[in-house]
């Protein structure tokens, strides 16, 4: 029933790139269940011609998997959500911006050089791009809390744990966490290494004095511990995603809010309105 004098908001037209993948399928299901969104297109290099909703375990939608991202812009697309691969993501972002769509990127492996290029494209085509290392709201809060704690605790190390099919290490979340800690803390005191490493690399990678450790195992989804140490005490901040559905509230939030921004937005914390700790 429509109430007189009430203007209905148009549904957000969303395309999913990487729609046949595990994350892409979860995004398709989330969009189909959102009352203010419509699945407008689905793109992948596999399952071409199949119904994207059926592939994601839902009722038929009539939206068939297409191979070429540029071809979808014969119709109105407001937002493109990309969960593909590091080898494809940059060309996908450019194609989406050329199609006059805002872009939300969950694909991992994006470098600082890539971010500079995305910022340039975003400003040129006058459409925003969100690159988020993690869409789980709890993970964003974990990073925020870690940056706050870093101002008061002496030493810190990061352990990230993911499924064995994840292609990059360390995770984008671990890198983003380390960057936030470094921004919040004037100096990170690296834990002293007594003796020598009996196995090369056993102390993990080093990012600005913070040791990062990556674990890849079957049975995991996405998990991270930030362990702080100081005189006579430790503090552990941990987040666990036990299913890919944990990322969907953050994805939907980003779809709803991205057009309130301009240029490159790095991190879901900006969309959530979190200020810098401290």
In this structure, what CATH number is given to the domain that contains residue 26? 3.40.50.720
Structure tokens at 218: 């079957």
Q: What is the pLDDT of residue 235?
A: 98
Asked if 17 and 124 sit in the same domain, the reply is yes
Q: What is the pLDDT of residue 15?
A: 98
Asked if 40 and 176 sit in the same domain, the reply is no
Confidence of residue 201 (pLDDT cuts 50, 70, 90): confident
What percent of the chain stands above pLDDT 90?
A: 79
- Cα gap 115→112, rounded to integer Å: 5
Count Cβ atoms below 10 Å from residue 233 Cβ, excluding itself: 9
- The answer on pLDDT for 205 being more than 50 is yes
Which residues lie across from 103 on neighbouring strands?
80, 129
Q: What is the pLDDT of residue 193?
A: 57
Query: Residue 224's domain spans which residues?
Result: 137-242
Confidence of residue 2 (pLDDT cuts 50, 70, 90): very low
Give the mean model confidence (pLDDT) for residues 89-104.
97
- Cα gap 268→261, rounded to integer Å: 12
Burial of 55 (0-12, 13-18, 19+ CB in 10 A): buried
Give the mean model confidence (pLDDT) for residues 254-264.
95
Angle (deg, nearest 10), helices 89-98 and 112-125: 10
- Cα gap 71→75, rounded to integer Å: 9
Q: Count the domains in the chain.
A: 2
Asked if 96 and 30 sit in the same domain, the reply is yes
Active site residues: 162, 166
Tell me what the pLDDT averaged over the chain comes to.
Answer: 91
Dihedral of alpha carbons 251, 116, 175, 270, sign = negative
- Cα gap 41→63, rounded to integer Å: 6
- The answer on pLDDT for 106 being more than 70 is yes
- Cα gap 227→219, rounded to integer Å: 23
Alpha helices in 108-220, H assignment, sequence order = 112-125, 137-149, 172-184
- With beta carbons less than 8 A apart as the criterion, state whether 52 and 42 touch: yes
- In the block, which residue shows the tokens 């994805």? 251
Asked if 92 and 181 sit in the same domain, the reply is no
Confidence of residue 1 (pLDDT cuts 50, 70, 90): very low
Give the mean model confidence (pLDDT) for residues 244-273.
94
- Out of 21-35, 87-101, 156-170, 176-190, which region has the weakest mean confidence (pLDDT)? 176-190
Q: Which of 106, 144, 154 is nearest to 239 (CA)?
A: 144
- Cα gap 48→57, rounded to integer Å: 16
CATH of the domain at 194: 3.30.360.10
Q: What is the pLDDT of residue 198?
A: 79
Q: What is the pLDDT of residues 132-172, one digit of tens each?
A: 988 999 999 999 999 999 999 989 999 999 999 888 899 98
Count Cβ atoms below 10 Å from residue 232 Cβ, excluding itself: 5
Give the mean model confidence (pLDDT) for residues 254-274.
93
Structure tokens at 53: 């909703």
Q: What is the pLDDT of residues 20-43, one digit of tens each?
A: 999 999 999 999 999 999 999 999
- The answer on pLDDT for 5 being more than 80 is no
Asked if 93 and 199 sit in the same domain, the reply is no
Asked if 98 and 25 sit in the same domain, the reply is yes
Asked if 172 and 209 sit in the same domain, the reply is yes
pTM above 0.85, yes or no: no
Q: What is the pLDDT of residues 52-63, one digit of tens each?
A: 999 999 999 999
Q: What is the pLDDT of residue 4?
A: 45
């Amino acid at each position: 029933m429509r109430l007189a004098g009430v203007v209905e908001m148009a549904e957000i037209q969303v395309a999913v790139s990487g729609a046949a993948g595990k994350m892409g399928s979860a995004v398709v299901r989330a969009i189909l269940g959102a009352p203010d969104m419509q699945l407008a297109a689905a793109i992948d290099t596999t399952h071409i011609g199949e119904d994207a909703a059926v592939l994601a375990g839902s009722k038929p939608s009539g939206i068939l998997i297409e191979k070429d991202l540029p071809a979808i812009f014969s119709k109105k697309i407001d937002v493109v959500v990309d969960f593909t691969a590091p080898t494809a993501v940059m060309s996908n972002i450019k194609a989406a911006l050329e199609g006059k769509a805002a872009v939300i990127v969950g694909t991992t492996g994006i470098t600082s050089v890539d971010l500079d290029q995305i910022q340039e494209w975003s400003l040129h085509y006058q459409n925003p791009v969100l690159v988020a290392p993690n869409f789980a709201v709890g993970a964003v809060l974990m990073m925020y809390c870690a940056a706050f704690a870093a101002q008061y605790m002496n030493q810190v190390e990061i352990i990230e744990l993911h499924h064995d099919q994840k292609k990059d290490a360390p995770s984008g979340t671990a890198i983003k966490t380390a960057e936030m800690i470094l921004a919040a803390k004037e100096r990170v005191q690296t834990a002293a290494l007594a003796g020598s490493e009996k196995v090369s690399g056993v102390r993990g990678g080093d990012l600005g004095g913070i040791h990062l450790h990556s674990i890849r195992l079957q049975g995991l989804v996405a998990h991270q511990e930030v362990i702080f140490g100081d005189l006579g005490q430790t503090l552990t901040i941990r987040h666990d995603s036990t299913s890919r559905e944990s990322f969907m509230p953050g994805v939907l939030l980003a779809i709803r809010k991205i057009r309130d921004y301009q240029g490159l937005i790095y991190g879901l914390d900006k969309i959530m309105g979190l200020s810098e700790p401290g």
